[in-house]
Structure 1
Amino acid sequence: MGFHTKPITFVGHVKIKVEELERSLQFYKEILGFNILEQTASTAKLTTDGKTSILSLEQPEGVVPKQGKTTGLYHFAILLPDQSDLANIVIHLVDKGIRFGSSDHLVSEALYLHDPDGNEIEIYRDRTPSEWKWNGNEVEMAVDPLDFENLLKHATPDKPWQRMPKETVMGHIHLHVSELIKTEEFYVKGLGMDVVNRFGRQALFLSYGKYHHHVGVNTWNGVGAPAPAKNSVGLDSFTLIFDNEETRKQTVAKLQQIGAEVIEENNQFITFDPSGIAIKLAI
């Protein structure tokens, strides 16, 4: 639908930290259906199309388990191309004995599960934008029960789930942050996103190009929540893909104007939101 392709800026990649790389790879390959694009002793880049990586895993040196009540990953969200794909993976997860939650967000239908380290994953499909309801600049979203009876009507038993469809993309990322005022300034004035939904004073949903959200942020782990240890399970970074060098250059300038740190290394640009979450700025 164009929300994850140029010229729109979008989340193209997420890198997470795990305790045991081989255990995680077994889950991401056999349960979720990713393929390995590249692998080292401590890292693996995962792909759905055999060309680009949308998710990377790293086993840090001296890794420690996921820490609660900290900033960082709430969930990363894998967007499937069709409703039939979501129906098929429901059947697959049940067959594999994987526990998962679910929700109808009005704009999408979603499943929620955890990897072996407790990193939360959303797997979803979007309804067509013509079905989304907007009140001015805010899109209506909800947390309603998912209608499995209707969803499973779209399953294709003759083509059961085997692997992630090659058109699968990283749909969005949702973050635990320490506060919302400076966070909103960073993502809006710095990165150029629009606020498209406010969940009281607890959460914001932000996007480019009128998507329902490319980034969600919340304070559900507590206002003032600390950052986790660098070697703990959880989020390492996520990557924003910009249309061209000029757009990225303008974004870097906006970030610097609001006092955000931007590091350049070998033509790679990395910035950090007010909670210290690393964001790579790529083209």
Structure 2
Amino acid sequence: MTPGTNTRATANRDVLAADTGMGPVTLLVGDLDLLTTYYVDGLALTVLSAEGNETVLGRGGRPIIVLRHDPTLPRGSRRDAGLFHTAILFEDAGALSAAVASLARLAPRSFVGSSDHLVSEAFYFTDPEGNGIELYLDRPRDTWRWTDGQVAMDTIALDPNAYLGQHLTVDRLENAAQDPAVVGHVHLQVGDTTTARDFYVTTLGFEATFEMPSALFVSAGGYHHHMAMNTWNSAGAGPRVPALGLGVVDVVVPDDDEIGALGDRLRSRGLQFRHDGRTLEVEDPWRNRVRVSVG
């Protein structure tokens, strides 16, 4: 498999189009003001809209996080299926450093680690309601190593202070909100990876890019991963019950034909879904909601 290509995508209706990407992640939150402050003052996101119980946050007019207020919901267990982290992708090391420094300055105890993954450099946080966040930068695609369709990834120590010392400037920190950012991938907790593969690869149409017994990474178009599923905390977890945390994962496809092909795959497998012509919504085996729409 050549990085950045997906030759099957244009010819095979069982595979998502190569230019599929991720949309915003919706979080169900108990304290809307607290979470808004964390993401706006800490991560330098901008309020794009705020109506009723929903606040949309993003960069450059592009939604990244949707906070949906529902104080009636209980806090879930870390061992439940649901969100592992939302991964926000930056364009260069200066932008990534500014976001990391800004969030660490507001809430230093929310920082939980950093790693070099060979394909990317990443910093990890946990928001005040326990939702995981990854802030990351991709290494150039021509440096990714592929063997038999699997991309080489690892977890190597990355010194956060050295990284910020090398890349952070006062100007980038003061103007962090001006740097573009998008949801690069979404990582879920699931009960088992075999069932996850059947849903996200065989049915939804992603392609597996890295597999181990406890985790599965999938993508469209030869990206290292648009989604991942692991059992590190949640092995054996059953379907979710209503709780704070993950609300919706948005996947964005290029045209209506992709929605139609996905609907055909779901229908042929007897799965229930909602389809209004341009948006399709389905639940995975753990009741994580996935919404696929045309970008």
What is the TM-score with the length of structure 2 in the denominator?
0.87
1:252 positional shift: 1.4
1:205 to 217, 234, 250: 217
Greater displacement, 79-88 / 145-154? 145-154
1:151 positional shift: 5.3
Structure with more of its chain in helix, by fraction: 2
Number of positions where the alignment pairs a residue of Structure 1 with one of Structure 2? 278
Query: Equivalent residue for 1:60?
Result: 70
Contact 1:66–1:117 under 8 Å retained in 2: no
2:230 to 218, 221, 242: 218
1:124 positional shift: 0.5
- SS state at 1:160 partner: helix
1:250 to 250, 254, 261: 261
Q: Where do residues 44-193 of structure 1 align in structure 2 (5 Å cutoff)?
A: 44-50=55-61, 52-99=62-109, 100=111, 101-148=113-160, 149-150=162-163, 152-193=165-206
Deviations 1:106-152 (A, max 9, x none): 11111111111011111111111011111121001111101442553
Deviations 1:86-123 (A, max 9, x none): 22233334433523111111111111111110111111
Amino acid at match of 1:38: S
Amino acid at match of 1:146: L
Contact 1:186–1:260 under 8 Å retained in 2: no
Unaligned runs of 5+ in 1: none
Amino acid at match of 1:42: N
Identity of aligned residues (%): 31
Deviations 1:148-201 (A, max 9, x none): 4255312223332443445210010000111222221211121211100012x1
What is the TM-score with the length of structure 1 in the denominator?
0.91
Distance in 1 of aligned mates of 2:176 and 2:79: 33
- SS state at 2:156 partner: coil
Superposition RMSD in Å: 2.1
Deviations 1:204-226 (A, max 9, x none): 00000110100000112333213
Distance in 2 of aligned mates of 1:247 and 1:16: 26
Contact 1:9–1:208 under 8 Å retained in 2: yes
Amino acid at match of 1:86: L
Contact 2:96–2:137 under 8 Å retained in 1: yes
Amino acid at match of 2:279: Q
Amino acid at match of 2:134: E
Unaligned runs of 5+ in 2: 6-16
Distance in 1 of aligned mates of 2:102 and 2:71: 34
1:26 positional shift: 0.8
1:266 positional shift: 7.2
